[in-house]
Structure 1
Amino acid sequence: MSEPLVVCVCDYWQRCHFHNRPSREAGDSSRESKSLRRMCIQVDAINGNYYLREFLQQKELALRLKRQHGVQLVWLSFEPPKRDTVDYRFADILAHTLWEHIEVEHLMSWLSTLGGGFSALGEQFERCAETAGKISLQQLKIGLRLGDPFLQARCKLYFSISLIQRGQLRAAKHLIREQYAFARSNAEKDVRLVRMCLGIWQRLSYEYEQRQMRKKCN
Structure 2
Amino acid sequence: MHQPVILQNTSSLRKPWFTGTQSVIFEFTNLDDFHGVLNLLETRKHILYSEIRSFYNISDKNEVHIEILVKNPPQNIDFGWERRMKHLFRYMLDLEKLMWNLSTLGGAYSAMGDFDTDYAKTAMKITTHQISLAKKYGDPVILARCYLYTALAEAQLGNLIQAVHIVRAVRHWSKQNPNTEIVQRCCEGVYQKLRAIHIFGTADTSYKYK
TM-score, normalisation: structure 2: 0.59
Which residue, out of 69, 82, 95, partners 1:104?
A: 95
* SS across alignment from 2:152: helix
Give the structure 1 partner of residue 42 of structure 2: none
Give the structure 1 partner of residue 159 of structure 2: 168
Instruction: Map 1:54-65; keep pairs closer than 5 Å.
Output: none
Question: Distance in 2 between the 1:87 and 1:117 partners?
Answer: 46
Offset, 1:84:
1.0
Deviation above 4 Å: which 4+ runs of structure 1? Answer: none
Instruction: Map 1:30-45; keep pairs closer than 5 Å.
Output: none
Which residue, out of 92, 107, 113, partners 1:122?
A: 113
Offset, 1:89:
0.5
Question: Distance in 2 between the 1:179 and 1:112 partners?
Answer: 18
Length, aligned pairs only: 130
Letter in 2 for 1:114: L
Which residue, out of 76, 82, 87, partners 1:91?
A: 82
Question: Distance in 2 between the 1:132 and 1:114 partners?
Answer: 8
Offset, 1:210:
4.0
Which residue, out of 174, 180, 190, partners 1:200?
A: 190
Offset, 1:157:
0.3
Question: Distance in 2 between the 1:203 and 1:115 partners?
Answer: 16
Letter in 2 for 1:157: L
Quick one: percent identity of the two aligned structures?
31
Question: Distance in 2 between the 1:129 and 1:208 partners?
Answer: 16
Give the structure 2 partner of residue 150 of structure 1: 141
Q: Once the two structures are superposed, what CA deviation does each residue of 1:52-83 show, in whole Å capped at 9, x if it has no partner?
A: xxxxxxxxxxxxxxxxxxxxxxxxxxxxxx72
Q: Once the two structures are superposed, what CA deviation does each residue of 1:114-157 show, in whole Å capped at 9, x if it has no partner?
A: 10111111010100001001101100000111222111111000
| Unaligned ranges ≥5, structure 1 | 1-81
| Unaligned ranges ≥5, structure 2 | 1-72, 206-210
TM-score, normalisation: structure 1: 0.57
Letter in 2 for 1:194: Q
Q: Once the two structures are superposed, what CA deviation does each residue of 1:18-69 show, in whole Å capped at 9, x if it has no partner?
A: xxxxxxxxxxxxxxxxxxxxxxxxxxxxxxxxxxxxxxxxxxxxxxxxxxxx
